[in-house]
Amino acid sequence: MKLLCIFSLTILIAACCTAAISQTRNTSTRAAKVAVIDSNAFKNRQTGIIRLVDAFQVIDAEFKLWHEETRALETRYDNLIKIPHRRPEPGDIPYTEKLAEIKQLAEIIKRRKEDHQQRLDRRTRQLMEPIYIDINKALQTFAEQHGIDVILDVAKLGDSVMVISNAVDITRSFIAHYNKNYSAETPAKN
């Protein structure tokens, strides 16, 4: 009786394994549909994703005055260091004052740039994160609707050499789809 149970159990396990293997083979024989996208094209002012381009323009406008002020300081600094270097005479106050001004100006510019980079990073994250999250969700939906299994972002592949058929490039169609269906939200001005 024990032998019959073991034999029956072995046949049952073999049948289950055979069924599982056969199901795995049937589902894995379908070739994966692969597409490529160039996320750098999302930022193109003429053909990119409108919400993203608008957000970049908001950032540019918010930091325009800062850029102009910093450029003016850099121009002033450049003009000061163009003064021919000469050996200062004892009691040459204007020359020593100029050196002090150059050092002070260099420090001000350095601090402004560091502060600006922190503000720019924070503001960029604030405006861009929700948009990129939305783009990723829309791209996932787009892929599902078009039966795409894998999307490779050629912008992230660096110096890799790839030969890509235009037939698998979904960049333009995705941007058009996104602009049509997801552009209702625009970035906040503040």
Query: What is the model's pLDDT at position 79?
Result: 84
CA distances to 24, 25, 120, 152, 161 from 30, in Å: 11, 9, 47, 19, 27
- Per-residue pLDDT tens for 160-190? 766 677 788 899 989 999 999 886 554 444 4
Crossing angle of helices 50-81 and 93-145, in 10° steps, is 160
Check pLDDT > 50 for residue 10: no
What is the number of alpha carbons within 13 Å of residue 113 lying toward its C-beta? 9
Q: Compute the C-alpha angle 49/34/174, nearest 5°.
A: 15
User: Which class would CATH give 31-181?
Assistant: alpha beta
Predicted TM-score (pTM) above 0.75: no
Task: Give the span between the Cα atoms of 176 and 165, in whole angstroms.
Answer: 20
Task: Give the span between the Cα atoms of 102 and 100, in whole angstroms.
Answer: 5
Check pLDDT > 50 for residue 9: no
Check pLDDT > 80 for residue 73: yes
- Per-residue pLDDT tens for 77-130? 888 887 666 666 666 667 677 788 889 999 999 999 999 999 999 999 999 999
Query: What is the model's pLDDT at position 161?
Result: 62
Task: Give the span between the Cα atoms of 124 and 107, in whole angstroms.
Answer: 25
Q: Which residues face 150 on adjacent strands?
A: 34
